[in-house]
Structure 1
Amino acid sequence: MYQKLRAWAKGRGKGSINKDKYWRTAGDQNWCFSTEDGLTLRTHSETPIIRHIKVKGEVSPYNGDWKYWCKRKGEYPETPTRVAKLMKRQKGKCPHCGLYFTDTDIVEVDHIVPKNLGGKDTYDNLQLLHKHCHDTKTASDGSLHKSRNEKV
């Protein structure tokens, strides 16, 4: 990394490097690449190590163990936090139809009591549903109708 920064600084300085402009002493570190505002480039040792979770021995997405894969999906880094929490809380099952979520399902976050009927946007009032289950529930729970307070 140092060699790349040095080459970059040399290109900016038209062949010469102004050491005091780019490298400073920050805390107990000498030759620390930093700005005048005190922002410093993190070192490799300051980067946290994040371990991945290995897949169990003979488990496959095709063997029907949806409970295992739903739990893993809840721990997958690209899964939104809200979806992961709901997935874990529901143990991988859709409360509307009772089936496990699969990796090909489209899932949606639903308000148990619709917001326009006084429901809050809290985890106690949220559930994860299949898209088709969400459509069915929304059609029957009255959330498609405007409340009395809303203007038409």
Structure 2
Amino acid sequence: MQLDDTDRRLLNALQRRGRLSNAELSEAVNLSPSACHRRVQRLEKDGYISGYVALVDPRKVNRRTIVYVEITLSAQADEVLDAFEKAVARVPEVLECHLMAGAADYLLKVVAEDAEDFARLHRRALASLPGVQGMQSSFALRTVRQTTALPI
């Protein structure tokens, strides 16, 4: 399916405010409510919209510290990569895990209460992940820009 301008307007509006009612959304993109509903259903069915979430303020749940961790593995064998990926998926403080090209094998985005909490997480969870040979951690000092909206 090819996206047209109306689909793009729908996706942009939903990325900014995912809780818009169908009536509000149809008004925002200048469509009838029934046509708007059909298009959103098609965008969901075709996988353009993969889900809806509530974005929780990390400060309100005491997860103020963001740490980016570069992981180097001991080997690149499929079984080492698979074991690492399965294990890291079970660490709830890891919000993102990316297989990388370059010096590090993986880049993780981790949240913690503070530096002491991250030190505990580093020792108990991250250092014991399968195949980990080295880690380099960088603490975010301030978030300048953060969005979940993709340019469409």
- TM-score between the two structures when normalised by the length of structure 1: 0.19
Name which one, 1 or 2, has greater alpha-carbon Rg.
1
Which structure has the higher relative contact order (CA within 8 Å, separation 6+)?
2
- TM-score between the two structures when normalised by the length of structure 2: 0.19
Query: Which structure has greater strand proportion?
Result: 2
